Structure 1
Amino acid sequence: MTIERPIDPARSRSVLDPYVDRYAARTAGMTASEIRALFAVASRPEVVSLAGGMPNISGLPLDVVGGAISDLVATQGPVAMQYGSGQGVPELREQITEVMALEGIQAHADDVVVTVGSQQAVDLVTRIFCDPGDVVLCEAPSYVGALGVFKSYQCDVVHIEMDGEGLVPAALRNGIRAVKAAGRTIKFLYTIPNFHNPAGVTLSAERRPEILAICREEGVLVLEDNPYGLLGFDREPMRALRADEPEGVIYLGSFSKTFAPGFRVGWALAPASVREKLVLAQESATLCPPQFSQMAVSAYLANHDWQGQIKQFRELYRERRDAMISALSDLMPVTVRWNVPDGGFYVWLTLPPGINAKAMLPRAVTARVAYVPGTAFFADGFGSSSMRLSYCYPTPERIREGVRRLAGVIEAEMELHSTFGTDTAELRLGAGVDSPGTDTL
Structure 2
Amino acid sequence: MRSLFAVASRPEIVSLAGGMPNVGALPMDTLGALMSEIVTRHGGTALQYGSAQGDPGLREQICEVMSLEGIDADPDDILVTVGSQQALDLVTRIFVNPGDAVVTEGPTYVTALGVFAAHQAHVVQVGMDRAGVVPEDLAETFARLAAEGRPAKLFYTVPTFQNPMGVTLSSGRRHQILDVCRRAGVLVLEDNPYGLLHYSSEPMRALRADDPDGVVYLGSFSKTLAPGLRVGWALAPAEVRRKLVLAAESAMLSHSTFAQLTVDRYLRTQPWQAQLGEFRSMYRARRDAMLQSLAAYMPQDVSWTIPDGGFFVWVTLPDGLDSKAMLPHALAARVAYVPGTGFYSDGRGRRHVRLSFSFPSPDDIRDGVRRLAEVVGEQERLRDALGCAPTPTKRFMSNSIHLS
TM-score above 0.5: yes
Aligned residue number for residue 359 of structure 1:
325
After superposition, give the CA deviation of every residue in 1:5-33 in whole Å (9 maximum; x if it has no partner).
xxxxxxxxxxxxxxxxxxxxxxxxxxxxx
- In terms of Rg, which structure is larger? 1
- The Cα of 1:38 is off from its aligned counterpart by 1.1
Helix, strand or coil: the match of 2:127? strand
* 2:181 equivalent to 1:215: yes
Write the deviation string for residues 305-341 of structure 1: whole angstroms up to 9, x where unpaired. 0101011000000000000000000000010010110
Show CA shifts across 1:190-232 (max 9, x none): 0000000001000001111010001001101100000000000
Give the equivalent residue in structure 2 for 1:191: 157
- Aligned counterpart for 2:386 among listed residues 392, 417, 420: 420
Q: What secondary structure sits across from 2:310 in the alignment? A: coil
Residue number in structure 2 paired with 1:308: 274
Gap regions ≥5 residues in structure 1: 1-33, 424-441
1:246 paired with 2:215, answer no
- In the alignment, the residues of structure 2 paired with residue 57 and residue 293 of structure 1 have an alpha-carbon distance, to the nearest angstrom, of 16
What is the correspondence of 1:302-381 to structure 2 with a 5 Å cutoff? 302-381=268-347
Do structure 1's residue 142 and structure 2's residue 86 form an aligned pair? no
Give the match's secondary structure for 1:223. strand
Residue identity in the other structure for 1:283: E
1:169 aligns with 2:135: yes
Q: Mean Cα displacement is larger for which, 91-100 or 178-187?
A: 178-187
1:224 partner SS: strand
Q: Distance in 2 between matches of 1:161 and 1:185?
A: 18
Contact 2:199 2:309 in 1 (8 A): yes
In the TM superposition, what whole-angstrom CA distance separates every residue of 1:82-119 from its partner, at most 9, and x where no partner exists? 00000000000000000000000000000000000000
Deviations, residues 162-205 of structure 1 (Å, cap 9, x unaligned): 10000101110111111111111311100000000001000001
Out of 57, 70, 77, the position equivalent to 2:23 is 57
Is 2:142–2:151's contact at 8 Å kept on the other side of the alignment?
A: no
Q: Secondary structure at the match of 1:327?
A: helix
In the alignment, structure 2 segments of 5+ residues that lack a partner are 390-404
Q: Distance in 2 between matches of 1:61 and 1:51?
A: 26
Q: Secondary structure at the match of 1:206?
A: helix
Q: In angstroms, what is the RMSD of aligned CA positions? A: 1.0
SS state of the match for residue 267, structure 1?
strand
Give CA-to-partner distance per residue, 1:248-294, whole Å, 9 cap, x none. Answer: 00000000000000000000000000000000000000001111110
Q: CA deviation at 1:419?
A: 1.1
**Runs of at least 4 residues off by over 6 Å:** none
Aligned residues: 390
Whether 2:139 is the aligned partner of 1:178: answer no
Q: What one-letter code is carried by the residue in structure 2 that aligns with 1:325?
A: L
TM-score under structure 1 length normalisation = 0.88
Q: One-letter code of the match for 1:46?
A: E
Match for residue 130 of structure 1? 96
State which of 35, 51, 55 in structure 2 corresponds to 1:69.
35
The answer to whether the aligner puts 1:404 opposite 2:370 as a matched pair is yes
Residue of 67, 73, 77 corresponding to 1:111 = 77
Within-5 A mapping of 1:276-295: 276-295=242-261
Match status 1:47 vs 2:24? no
The match for 1:297 among 260, 263, 280 is 263
Distance, in Å, in 2 between the alignment partners of 1:249 and 1:421 is 51
Secondary structure (helix, strand or coil) at the match of 1:88 reads: coil
Q: TM-score with structure 2 length normalisation? A: 0.96
1:232 and 1:398 map into 2 onto residues whose CA distance is 23
Deviations 1:345-403 (A, max 9, x none): 00000001110000000000000000000000001110011010000000000000000
SS of 1:333's equivalent? coil
149-158 vs 413-422, which moves further: 413-422
Corresponding residue SS for 2:138: helix
One-letter amino acid of the structure 1 residue matched with residue 372 of structure 2:
L
Paired amino acid for 1:407? A
